[in-house]
Amino acid sequence: MTSIDSQRVPLFQVTADQGVRGTGNPDEQQRFLGEVKFVDYFAQLIGTNLGMQSLELAVVEDSQSQTAIYYAPPIGGAPSVNGFISTKRRSLSELVETLREEHRD
């Protein structure tokens, strides 16, 4: 099993009305929403060309941070988009484990 840093990062969830709730400040929440919209836009363009049916996990990196996004299966009709922004670089296996762990909580 991968060792996960125990330091908690602000967690976010995009609601059905495109609002964001989470443990981070309002600027971080809006940044997360912007990252989700960025991923959605390009996933649709690329996914159409590749015949992609769905998206479960996305990671966006820039020079200062990583944004990890988990598209959870719909519960009660509304899909859930969860994730976090971290300044600490994590491996893909760490990101997947952290996202799945946070989604189970």
| Per-residue pLDDT reduced to its tens digit, 41-80 | 998 899 888 888 888 889 999 889 999 998 877 777 666 7
**CATH architecture of residue range(s) 11-104:** 2-Layer Sandwich (3.30)
Model pTM score: 0.76
Q: Sign of dihedral through CA atoms 33, 104, 9, 91? A: negative
CA separation, residue 33 to residues 15, 21, 24, 37, 41 (Å): 10, 10, 12, 6, 12
